[in-house]
Amino acid sequence: MKIRRDLSFAMFLSVMFQAGADEIHRGESWVVERLGPTINTEFNERFSMISSDGLALYFASDRPDSIGPVNARGRKEWDMYVAWRSSVTEPFGTAVNLGPEINSPYGDHSAAFSNDGHWMYFASSRPGGCGGYDLYISHRVDVEDPLGWGPPQHLGCTANTEFDEACPFFITDEQNDGAEVYFVRNSGRGQRDFQIFVSRVGEGVEVLQSASPVPELNSLDGDYHFEPRHGLIWSRRAGGYGAADIWRTGMSHETNRWTEPENIGPAINSVHNETLPSSTAGGVIYFPSDRPDGYGGYDIYMAIPSR
């Protein structure tokens, strides 16, 4: 049940944020592969998050063994799953449901992790929140145990609101000697009204301060996730190749602001939906897509930079 860590989260964030972002910006040629049947099924696999060392893949699925009843759309609500491997040269093992300690009869998805690997942020529509999807956090003692997560804690109604908050991502802010969580919020005016927000982390990682939009990253057409360690954005903004695409940005050290997002290109994006990207320290991008060559609705793919 345990996985080996080739790179610590701390090493990754201190060294790979700049190097990894540079690799992705230079990697104009990609080899795209669909993950196999230990991950993908005839159902929907979405909201994937790869660990920085490439050994653990968390994602959400509506497959039949998910917890809870079938919803009004005729499918199960999202449950979170994890698959792992002992080295990046091996295929992932069969994905395992995170179980009732984390998953609920409601929607649970979009896991992300603190620097030290002990905390998992995720979104859930379970009762007891501020409204819609809210952000939650869970702790594990053993960072090598992908199933060792404890009971979730609600992150309060400072960053969470009556609207949907989802797709969190934790990152240190070395310039300002702190940490931040980027996430998206829907203000209730439709599915294309998601925008990217950022919240400072309080004295403990389980405390989020009030959140502010990130204007240089937001568009008028829906921005659904931002992965700041490599500057990757999931967006429907104008100028893409069809539906939702993967875009990229970088931090300007002169202005201390994110640069204008640019489309990552047709080697990865298609006329279909390419969604929620995450990347390893080596620049391999994992993303769900509903392109027609998959096993079911949405499948998870990986894009390997070709140099």
**CA 77 – CA 98 distance, rounded (Å):** 14
* Percent over 70 (pLDDT), the chain: 87
pLDDT category at 191 given cuts 50, 70, 90 is low
pLDDT value at position 174?
53
The b/e string for 270-298 (b: 16+ C-beta within 10 A; e otherwise) is bebbbbbbbbbbbbbbbbbbbbeebbebb
**Local structure of residue 260 (DSSP, 8 states):** P
Q: Where are the domains of the chain?
A: 9-305
- The answer to whether the CB of 154 falls within 8 A of the CB of 165 is no
Distance CA 203, CA 306 (A): 42
pLDDT for the residue numbered 6: 33
In degrees, to the nearest 5, what angle opens at C-alpha 264 toward C-alphas 272 and 180? 105
Backbone angles phi, psi at 176, to 5 degrees: -105, 15
d(CA 23, CA 39): 26
> How many percent of the chain have pLDDT more than 90?
74
Q: What is the pLDDT of residue 18?
A: 43
Q: For the chain, give the mean pLDDT.
A: 88
> In this structure, which CATH number among 3.40.1410.10, 2.115.10.20, 3.40.50.720, 3.40.50.800 belongs to the domain 9-305?
2.115.10.20
Residue partners of 128: CB distance under 8 A and separation at least 6 = 154
Q: State the Cα–Cα distance between residues 27 and 198, nearest whole angstrom.
A: 27
Position 213 scores a pLDDT of 96
d(CA 201, CA 228): 15
At residue 3, the pLDDT reads 41
DSSP state of 78: P
Query: Is 25 a residue whose pLDDT tops 90?
Result: no
| The predicted structure's pLDDT at residue 73 | 85
Model confidence pTM above 0.95 = no
CB 206 within 8 A of CB 159: no
pLDDT reading at 21 higher than 70: no
CA–CA distances in Å: residue 81 to residues 54, 165, 291, 295: 16, 20, 22, 17
Q: State both tokens at 254.
A: 């002169």
219-276 pLDDT, tens digit each: 999 999 999 999 999 999 999 998 999 999 999 989 989 999 999 999 999 999 999 9
Q: Which pLDDT value is given to residue 193? A: 87
pLDDT at 204 over 60: yes
pLDDT confidence tier of residue 205, bands split at 50, 70 and 90: confident
Give the pLDDT mean for 15-43.
72
pLDDT of 11 > 70? The answer is: no
Least confident of 22-31, 144-153, 189-198: 22-31
- With beta carbons less than 8 A apart as the criterion, state whether 152 and 128 touch: no
Report pLDDT digits (tens) over 124-174: 999 999 999 999 999 999 999 999 999 999 999 999 999 999 999 988 755
pLDDT at 173: 58
Residue 116 has pLDDT above 90, yes or no: no
Contact 73, 91 (CB under 8 A): no
